[in-house]
Amino acid sequence: MTSIAVRLSHSASRADQSVIAVQGPSAAFIKQAWSDGTASQAASGEAGQLAKKIVANDTRLRQGDAALASYARTLRETRTTVERLRVEWDEADGTYRSKLNHINSAEVRQQVPEQARQQLADRAAHDRDATQQNIFRRYDRAMGTLQTQGIVAARTLNALSDDTIPRSKTGSADAMRSALTGDLSISAGAMKRGQAAADAAAARDLVVKAAQGDRAALEELQKKYGDKAKDPYFAQALQQALGIKGTNQAIFDMLKGQVVGHIDDRTRNDALLNFLGTAFATAADTGRDGAFQDVVSLQLHQKWRSEWFEQLKADGRDTFKPNWASPSFSGYYAQGLLLSHASVTAGPAYMDVVGGDFLAYDREGIVNGAARTYIHGFGSSGSGDITTPGVIGANSQRTAADPMHGFLSNSAVNHDAAKTFLSHDVPGGKESVMAIDYLMKERWNVQHYEAGNMTYTGFGDKGDALGRAALAGDHDASDRQSTLLPRSSSTTMPRVLPKTHPETLALFRDILEFRHTAMR
């Protein structure tokens, strides 16, 4: 617990962006070492509690040590007694055999009648038995003393253990940690972060192997860590363990190693991407901050996420290409693929910071009516068809190759995320335009080039994800009929409409007039 206290001081210092001098593991020092930040004030108070726990546990340990020392002393004395009694027992046997041999010797047999000799033998046996009975009584007393001392020691240790951790809480490591840190939220948070880091390190190794086609690694990953993808502690730790480049490498390995059209490849890749995508979105979503129940963990997470978002923006605009001859893709391609596989939303903060930059980058890439190509060199039908979750008509390859599909489909599951993403100001062209206007007026008409010089216009899913995102951003979650858009008489319609949601037809009638003032 002393080491926890030391780590506690470091954690609070980092959370407050202050620097403290580490003078030693003393709990008294810890209480004096904090800066004036919120996290430090909370940690300072907890340091006092932790110091009391350390003193209490130290007292218990001393009492336990005394009980064990007393038992050990009695055990040593008993062992010495038993060894001495064993010697006496053997001596009594030896004396009896010696007397019996003498009685049965030829000389005595000639001089002493048989009846007298029998009396002598009986007397020798009686002496032996009396001596050994006395030895046994002494042995019994010694063992009784040892047993009594053992009962006292066990009772003392059990009582001390119950004072430290109630017996009902000893069924699992998690229950024991909870009992130890029940009133120490910051220490509990530090334990959770440490456990998450250990789990993430093991999961990272399995991800690397699974991405390279190791079926056993994928099965172990799903069995041990599949349920943890939605745990914010684990999700953050996994992003840190893999790193952005490590995640890109895993995606590259999946694309590079797959066999075109092989259903097992697609199934395994989808399973791994589902895990990675869900953990990615969980780490990004500010709506899950409530899971961090202590101020130090929360501030550390928020600081990390802010830095991570900036790194994601930089990586999104970069090209991942392991060597000069290998295929490549942009960082935003990888993010789009992860988002399309996530079972949870990445949240409005991600769509604001990273999503806004992606929209700008996407618009910057339109040249002469042609859209930016985000993935290069993976073959005519391999990457998209195998890695896209679900099949929308015959357009699965197209939706996989276009990260816009991932951003739209992920934002479509959350009202605030969709509203944030679609209401961005997107720079470029002659002037900045609102994201929904950019998507409907410009991107709907751009050409996307595919292998074999084939092209398609606008969106590979014919606007399905856009329609769902527009519906999610437009309608209040408590009333699916309410809308932030006034109905108008506009009849301007895209030439191809999504068919997934009938409500989308009415919505698109007004979507071209959608403006910031409407998104109140």
Q: pLDDT (tens digit, 9 = 90+) per residue, 476-503? A: 433 333 333 333 323 333 333 434 344 4
Lowest pLDDT segment from 49-58, 150-159, 327-336, 443-452? 49-58
Q: Are residues 166 and 41 in the same domain?
A: yes
Per the prediction, the chain carries an average pLDDT of 77
Do 159 and 305 belong to one domain? no
Residues 170 and 191 in one domain: no
In DSSP notation, 458-507 reads S-TTTTHHHHHHHHHHHSBTTBTT--SS---------SS---S-THHHHH
Q: Do both 139 and 218 map to the same domain?
A: no
- Same domain as 70, residue 44: yes
Task: For 106-163, write each residue's pLDDT tens digit.
Answer: 888 888 888 888 998 899 899 999 998 999 999 999 899 989 988 888 888 878 777 7
291 and 253 within one domain: yes
Which of 164-168, 268-272, 342-346 is least confident?
A: 164-168
Mean pLDDT of 256-262: 64
pLDDT in tens, 220-258: 999 999 999 999 999 999 999 999 999 999 999 988 877
Query: Do both 313 and 410 map to the same domain?
Result: yes
pLDDT number for residue 61 = 78
381 against 84, higher pLDDT: 84
Q: Which are the contacts of 42, defined by CB distance < 8 A and separation ≥ 6? A: 12, 186, 294, 295, 296
267 and 158, same structural domain?
no
> Is pLDDT larger for residue 207 or for residue 165?
207
Please tell me whether residues 18 and 115 are part of one structural domain: yes
Would the pLDDT of 24 be above 60? no
Burial call 16-40: b when 16+ CB within 10 Å, e when fewer: beeebeeeeeebebbbebbbebebb
Closest among 246, 243, 204 to 221, alpha carbons compared: 204
Q: What is the mean pLDDT of residues 361-387?
A: 74
Which residues, including other chains, have CB under 8 Å from residue 338's CB and lie 6 or more apart?
247, 273, 276, 277, 280, 281, 406
Q: How many domains does the chain have?
A: 2
34-90 pLDDT, tens per residue?
444 555 555 566 566 666 666 667 787 788 888 888 889 989 999 999 999 999 999
| Residue 354: per-residue pLDDT | 98
Q: How far apart are CA 98 and CA 230, in angstroms?
A: 83
Which tokens go with 114? 């048989």
Residue 88 is predicted with a pLDDT of: 92
Q: 350 and 205 share a domain? A: yes
- Residue ending a domain, among 147, 176, 205, is 176
Question: pLDDT above 70 covers what percent of the chain?
Answer: 69
Find the helix packing angle between 38-103 and 114-164, rounded to 10°: 180
Question: Whole-angstrom Cα distance, residue 294 to residue 233?
Answer: 12
Domain boundary among 119, 149, 176: 176
Residue 207 contacts residue 214 (beta carbons within 8 Å): no
Residue bearing the bigger pLDDT, 270 or 33: 270
**Average pLDDT of 395-419?**
86
Distance between CA atoms of 214 and 507, rounded to whole angstroms? 46
pLDDT reading at 418 higher than 70: yes
Residue 477, pLDDT score: 38
- Do 139 and 268 fall into the same domain? no
Angle at 213 between CA 209 and CA 219, to 5 degrees: 70
- 143 & 200 share domain: no
Boundary-marking domain end, from 176, 201, 216: 176
User: 61 is in which domain, residue-wise?
Assistant: 2-176
Structure tokens at 509: 């009638």
